[in-house]
Amino acid sequence: MTGTVRDAMAGPAPAEDGPDLVVAGAGGGLAGALRAAEQGLSVVVVEASEHFRRGNNTSMSTAMFPGAGSRWQAEAGVGDSAERFVDDIMAKTGGRADPRLARTLAGVSAPLVEWLADSVELPLSLVTDFNYPGHAVPRCHSVPGRHGSSVLDHLVRRVREHPLIDLLVPARLVDVATGPDGAVRAAVVRYPDGGEEEIPTRAVLLATNGFGADRELVGRHLPEIAGALYQGGDQSLGDALRIGERLGAATGFLDAYQGHGAIAANAGTLVGWATIIHGAVLVDLGGRRFGDETRGYSEYAAELAARPGGTGWIVLDEVIFEQCQPFQDFRDTVESGVLVWADDAAGLAEATGLPAAALAAELADAAAVARGERPDEHGRANWERPLSGRYAAVRVLPALFHTQGGLMVDEHAAVVDPGDRRIPGLYAAGGAAAGVSGHGAAGYLPGNGLLPAFGLAYLAADDVARRAAGRAGPAAPAPVH
């Protein structure tokens, strides 16, 4: 290669005919790079932002990896399967998720988390202290601190150490060149000085996330959330969508997204929906609840945005405060000083500026519902316990985290055209690909961001390895998942 901003030269430069795989995006794409290199392939990763370790969606996530049928579930006595996971996806999306992709991701979920633990050496464990909305059983696995920054830091270390992987930062994939047969022949990379380079390769994995940072695309496809805070990577500009469309790729589910109804105002930190699952409530500026909070944090973003002032307050207590300490995001919120405390409803109204009579009535009604004295008018059935003792509250804003629609892919993460034919050598993962959240925000299941990002990258690497083995000689057995 020529002229370059090569950040990590962990070994010899690729051969003159280029690497076996170019990965665009250093989030979940790093898992694809490691999986490919594990099978002897040479890989170049290009990443547009020099601040990616704290600025992409993987690093900002709560590091929740669904794994249906994992060994940690078996050890905990949790019965689960890929089929059950597919059922949950279809239930949450109202049957509108792509069936092939739902089966693919549910099927790879347990092998993926076990590979991340065994080969990549991520310290994963099953989250059992609460269960996210939509998952019938505990199936999310996470790392200590439950924050994506530690996941990404670990992946970057492994990538830098691997002799078959080069990491170019900052460098942006701006195009994919194809030959007369339509197959990928090169990745076109642009450097900060404006110079461009063609990197010869037979395979490109688009792992550049979605289009959440492009306000025009968000306004066109996601108008209900277009005015909300954007809380995702600043390089999620729709690059993969534009490149794929130019090459004739099919697209789908462009109205799907992950929202969140719990960004701490004046801090910008994630309060987290574990507060709600443990029994907290969300009230608007009138001091009243306005729905069943346990349906999911994603759909609550647009619902909160539609309330007067586009903001509200999460009300919790000391027990929930302690229950949420395992989350680094919650601890960051606490350390920012934005929580207010009060001994009773009247004191909480004074501290928050909420209407005292309405807030007191709402908290009393919620406590009665939680005790089982009457049904909830909003249909909420999940109450661990009524709030008691001192109250705490934090003002929250709605946000768009990332988009969930993109390029259509097959069961190997290969990008397909409208006739479901592969574009040879082109793959997509994460927000660059269409996900399994159906349409809108309500179909998002916790983990629907990281599972397509890591799972599709993993599957793409396996497919590239199989095809490379076929070119080199007799077909090799597929890697065991």
Q: What is the pTM for the complete model shown?
A: 0.90
Query: How confident is residue 1, by pLDDT bands cut at 50, 70 and 90?
Result: very low
What are the residues whose beta carbons fall under 8 Å from the beta carbon of 220, sequence distance 6 or more? none
Q: Which token pair is 312? A: 């509200």
Q: What is the pLDDT of residues 116-151, one digit of tens each?
A: 999 999 999 999 998 888 999 999 999 999 999 999
Q: What is the pLDDT of residues 255-277, one digit of tens each?
A: 999 999 999 999 999 999 999 99
Q: What is the pLDDT of residues 238-259, one digit of tens each?
A: 999 999 999 999 999 999 999 9
Average pLDDT, stretch 322-337? 96
Average pLDDT, stretch 313-323? 98
pLDDT score for 131: 87
d(C-alpha 221, C-alpha 264), whole Å: 26
**Percentage of the chain lying above the pLDDT 70 cut:** 95
Average pLDDT, stretch 220-244? 96
Each domain of the chain, given as residue ranges in start order, spans: 1-256+404-481, 259-400
Closest of 133, 81, 75 to residue 291, by C-alpha:
133
How many residues does this entry show for the chain?
A: 481
pLDDT score for 471: 80
Q: What is the pLDDT of residues 436-480, one digit of tens each?
A: 999 999 999 999 999 999 999 999 999 999 999 988 655 444 444
Res. 9: pLDDT tops 80: no
pLDDT score for 3: 31
Q: What is the pLDDT of residues 172-218, one digit of tens each?
A: 999 999 999 999 999 999 999 999 999 999 999 999 999 999 999 99
Residue range 1-256+404-481 forms a domain whose CATH class is: alpha beta
What are the residues whose beta carbons fall under 8 Å from the beta carbon of 101, sequence distance 6 or more? 409, 411, 434, 435, 436, 452
d(C-alpha 82, C-alpha 101), whole Å: 12
Tell me which of 405 and 481 has the higher pLDDT: 405
| DSSP state at residue 471 | H
Task: List, edge to edge, every strand of the sheet that includes 125-126.
Answer: 65-66, 140-142, 125-126
Res. 12: pLDDT tops 50: no
Domain 259-400 in CATH 3.90.700.10: yes
Instruction: Report whether the peptide linkage leading into residue 99 is cis, meaning its omega lies within 30 degrees of zero.
Output: no
| DSSP state at residue 289 | B
Q: Please return the burial class of 308, using the count of CB atoms within 10 Å of its CB with bins 0-12, 13-18 and 19+.
A: exposed
Average pLDDT, stretch 1-7? 38
Interior/surface letters 221-231, b for 16+ CB within 10 angstroms, e for the rest: bbebbbebbbb
Q: Which amino acid is at 186?
A: A
d(C-alpha 95, C-alpha 144), whole Å: 34
Query: Cβ distance 448 to 296 under 8 Å?
Result: no
Res. 55: pLDDT tops 50: yes
pLDDT score for 16: 53
Q: Which token pair is 401? A: 């985290």
pLDDT score for 321: 98
